[in-house]
Structure 1
Amino acid sequence: MTKTILYCRVSTTEQTIDHQEEQARAAGFQIDDVLADDGVSGITTRLRDRSEGRRLFDMLRSGDVLVVRWVDRLGRDYQDVTDTIREFMRRGVIVRTVINGLTFDGATKDPMQQAVRDALIAFMAATAQAQAEATKEAQRAGVAYAKANEPHKYLGRKPSFNREQFNRVRSLLDMGTNTISSVAKETGLSRQTVYRIKHDPYAAEAILVEWGM
């Protein structure tokens, strides 16, 4: 009997495992099992080297479906992601993404379809690595900015917000339709904290990085 397995990876800057599962089920996937690695970097740790990633390789059989929010959950390294997807396809595993609803299936024998599929895998893997590198550069820039311009804040006490709250505040503010008060209410933060994040997101990001959050 074939299975549909959802694999989630959560680093300190990403969504929660529950959120990724909710997204998959909302997209119509009938999930049989959920495997998740929490607090694991997709840049420095290959899928095979993660505890639940290893289980994934052991569990998946021909005909099974592997669901991920996007290919960056498998990894942020170009070579690792492309090798992983191709290995699963050689095994007869179908890889599907929640975002964009893409399907990678090794069953096709048509050379043109294979070429298009492989090019798309390569493009998405390269995009995942590029996004990771851009994020790291933005974090480094935020740290440098805070050190140079607001060292008293940078070296201050532990922030009153966590990474998930910070990301949620940024997301709500970017919509342009939410007030400071409404964002504070939804995130459980004070209006002053929300205002500080809005006024200087780079400094807020730098504080989180310094505290390893």
Structure 2
Amino acid sequence: MKTVLYARVSTMDQTLDHQKTQAEEAGFQINEVVADHGVSGVSTRLRERPEGKRLFDLLREGDTLVVRWVDRLGRNYDDVTEVMRELLSAGVTIKTVINGLTFDGSKSDPMAKAVRDALIGFMAAMAQAETEARREAQKAGIAAAKQRPGKYRGRKPSYSREQMAQVTAMLTNSDTISAIAKATGLTRPTIYRIKDQPEECEKALHLWRM
């Protein structure tokens, strides 16, 4: 039996090391880490994420899956509840770093399962509500900023034009993400963003006159 941490790293302020440290500080002894980088949890189902697919193949009956919060497991209420129930039915126990919740996949008592499933539904609904609230707040902030011509530029790039050029060259040379991170001093999420969204990255540099 093993304990697996699943992490989704989609923004500059989310790092794999930070999420792993949080889990360990909460008392988890992690045997393996599975992480998706630069993947949106709002638009991409867990099974459609590169490492999300591997997670289902990796987990076995008796294993424990650790996530920062249940929103890591799906895009919305339906996704989260579907994934959690599938894993629980396979005998996997799911635990969260935030609030230290445990969803026991070994439960067979009908009443215990009913209570567990009700809690899953509540947590999934709350996670979706929080995600939608953040999205609406961001949209409102962006809309207000766009009313002021020349003011809205988005977040300042964490990379320079020279670093972007170096990343692009190393990717062309088939260098690994780890090697590029070491050579450029950039985080892995930033490198993945340059790799997957070069036009957006170039646009950001232009907007910030970098």
Paired position in structure 2 for 1:108 = 107
Within 5 Å, give how 1:193-212 maps onto structure 2.
Answer: 211=204
- Secondary structure of the structure 2 residue equivalent to 1:54: helix
- Secondary structure of the structure 2 residue equivalent to 1:9: strand
Paired position in structure 1 for 2:89 = 90
Paired position in structure 2 for 1:139 = 138
Unmatched segments (≥5 aa) in structure 1: 163-209
**Which amino acid is 2:152 matched to?**
Y
Paired position in structure 2 for 1:151 = 149
Q: Matched residue pairs, number?
A: 162
Moved over 6 A (4+): none
TM-score (norm 1): 0.70
Q: Compared with structure 1, are the counterparts of its residues 154 and 68 closer, same or farther at alpha carbon in structure 2 (3 Å cutoff)?
A: same
Q: Distance in 1 between matches of 2:140 and 2:51?
A: 33
Superposed displacement of residue 161, structure 1:
6.5
Q: Distance in 2 between matches of 1:74 and 1:211?
A: 30
The answer (yes or no) to whether the contact 1:10–1:40 under 8 Å persists in 2 is yes
What are the Cα deviations for residues 5-39 of structure 1, in whole angstroms up to 9, with x where unaligned? 00000222752111110000111111010010011
What are the Cα deviations for residues 172-199 of structure 1, in whole angstroms up to 9, with x where unaligned? xxxxxxxxxxxxxxxxxxxxxxxxxxxx
Q: Distance in 1 between matches of 2:150 and 2:30?
A: 48
Superposed displacement of residue 119, structure 1:
1.0
Paired position in structure 2 for 1:23 = 22
Superposed displacement of residue 211, structure 1:
4.5
The answer (yes or no) to whether the contact 1:4–1:65 under 8 Å persists in 2 is yes
Superposed displacement of residue 111, structure 1:
2.4
The answer (yes or no) to whether the contact 1:71–1:124 under 8 Å persists in 2 is yes
Q: Distance in 2 between matches of 1:155 and 1:32?
A: 42
Q: Distance in 2 between matches of 1:13 and 1:131?
A: 20
The answer (yes or no) to whether the contact 1:76–1:125 under 8 Å persists in 2 is no
Paired position in structure 2 for 1:52 = 51
The answer (yes or no) to whether the contact 2:74–2:83 under 8 Å persists in 1 is no
**Which amino acid is 2:55 matched to?**
L
Q: Distance in 1 between matches of 2:13 and 2:75?
A: 13
TM-score (norm 2): 0.71
Paired position in structure 1 for 2:73 = 74
- Secondary structure of the structure 1 residue equivalent to 2:95: strand
Q: Distance in 2 between matches of 1:75 and 1:13?
A: 20
Unmatched segments (≥5 aa) in structure 2: 160-202, 206-210
Q: Distance in 1 between matches of 2:135 and 2:204?
A: 15
Paired position in structure 2 for 1:195 = none
Superposition CA RMSD, Å: 2.2
**Which amino acid is 2:131 matched to?**
A
Paired position in structure 2 for 1:172 = none
